Amino acid sequence: MSAWIGVCCYDLAQGGFSFFLDEKPTFQRLVARFQSAESIYLAARVVHWRPVLVDSWGGVIESDTISTVGRAGLKFLVGCQFMQRFEP
What 8-state DSSP symbol labels residue 36? S
In whole angstroms, give the CA distance from residue 43 to residue 33: 9
Q: How far apart are CA 50 and CA 65, in angstroms?
A: 11
pLDDT tens per residue across span 4-37 = 888 999 999 999 999 999 999 999 999 999 988 8
Q: Please state, for a pLDDT cut of 90, what percent of the chain lies above it.
A: 56
The Cβ of residue 12 has, within 10 Å, a number of other Cβ atoms equal to 11
E strands, 2-70, in order: 8-12, 16-21, 29-35, 39-54, 60-61
pLDDT of residue 69: 55
Q: What does the domain layout of the chain look like in residue ranges?
A: 8-86
Question: What's the pTM?
Answer: 0.84
**What confidence tier does 73 reach under pLDDT thresholds 50, 70, 90?**
confident
